[in-house]
Amino acid sequence: MSLLEVTDLRAGYGETRVLDGVSLAVDAGEVVTLVGRNGVGKTTTLRAIVGAITPWAGTVRYDGEDVTGLSPEATVARGIGFVPEERRVFPGLTVTENLSLATHGGSDAGRGRSVESVLDTFEPLDERRDATGQHLSGGEQQMLAIARALVADADLLLLDEPTEGLAPLVVEAVADLVRNANETDGITVLLVEQNVATALELADHAYVLDQGRVVYEGTAADLEAATDVVDRHLGVSID
């Protein structure tokens, strides 16, 4: 049984259908990536999983439990951490204060990730612990947003384009941090990316979304080799 199982998910906004039956599975301990062009429904998929929007149909199962249509508060409490594209951090609070706020809620699985233990493994952020959110770089804000989810005791991290808009060196730093969270802390990751090269570098499995449907599923290595799929549905070359 997978940690996260999404089956035939349909969702949209108002009358507009965006997800036309999305199914995917993420096993515990894996990094799975969901890639696709602009506007195909990647963010909508994550929103429907965490309950930020209510799916029209289909099911979301997490850790053996049906969580379809639960509120974001309820899914966070079960251990799903969502780091949205906007990387929301409190601009007037320091790194440490931002993290302390996140200790409320989260799963009761008892990993016991304290602010200090997370900062220990997030070195670049530890060096900036007294800086306020507004003075952090884009990369530091992204790290803080991920660190917040870990402090909130997430077992599954849903990351929405964590490397977007970051300089290449910073992309590498964020990628390292995601890899570390997965390998060292055992965090399971569902990673939405437009940066296909980075996504495939990190992921075990990959799903390609096009117009609200999964059009390809395979190992990261399979997708890398499937140049026709990459050309047709992603429109990028991987190098």
Ligand X SMILES: Nc1ncnc2c1ncn2[C@@H]1O[C@H](COP(=O)(O)OP(=O)(O)OP(=O)(O)O)[C@@H](O)[C@H]1O
Given the rule CB under 6 A, which residues bind ligand X?
Answer: 13, 18, 36, 38-44, 194
Whole-angstrom distance, CA of residue 53 vs CA of residue 69? 8
Partner that binds at residue 49, options ligand X, Mg ion, none, CB closer than 5 to 8 Å by kind? none
Helix (H) or strand (E) holding 66, with range, is strand 65-66
Residue nearer to Mg ion on the CB measure, 29 or 39: 39
81 touches 149 (CB < 8 A): yes
Stretch that binds Mg ion, among 34-42, 55-63, 68-76, 131-139 (CB under 5 A): 34-42
b/e burial code for range 162-171 (CB count within 10 A of at least 16 → b):
bbeebeeebb
Contacts of 2 (CB under 8 A, 6+ apart): 25, 26, 27, 28
Q: Which residue is nearest to Mg ion, using beta carbons?
A: 43
Least CB distance to ligand X at residue 206 (A): 15
Stretch that binds Mg ion, among 43-51, 63-71, 130-138, 201-209 (CB under 5 A): 43-51
Nearest to 131 by CA among 159, 92, 75, 180: 92
Nearest to 84 by CA among 43, 127, 135: 43
Write the DSSP string, 4-71.
Answer: EEEEEEEEEETTEEEEEEEEEEE-TT-EEEEE--TTSSHHHHHHHHHTSS--SEEEEEETTEE-TT--
Whole-angstrom distance, CA of residue 191 vs CA of residue 237? 19
Stretch that binds Mg ion, among 36-44, 58-66, 167-175, 223-231 (CB under 5 A): 36-44
Least CB distance to Mg ion at residue 132 (A): 27
List the structure tokens of 35: 């890639």
Partner that binds at residue 194, options ligand X, Mg ion, none, CB closer than 5 to 8 Å by kind? ligand X
Least CB distance to Mg ion at residue 55 (A): 17
Residue nearer to Mg ion on the CB measure, 46 or 151: 46
Asked if 195 is part of the footprint of Mg ion (rule: CB under 5 A), the reply reads: no
Asked if 44 is part of the footprint of Mg ion (rule: CB under 5 A), the reply reads: no
Residue nearer to ligand X on the CB measure, 151 or 214: 214
Whole-angstrom distance, CA of residue 222 vs CA of residue 206? 9
Least CB distance to ligand X at residue 53 (A): 8
Using DSSP, state whether 46 is helix, strand or coil: helix
Least CB distance to ligand X at residue 98 (A): 24
List the structure tokens of 216: 């390809």
Partner that binds at residue 98, options Mg ion, ligand X, none, CB closer than 5 to 8 Å by kind? none
List 24, 33, 36, 43, residue binding Mg ion (CB under 5 A): 43
Least CB distance to Mg ion at residue 42 (A): 5
> What does the binding site for Mg ion look like in residue numbers (CB under 5 A)?
42-43
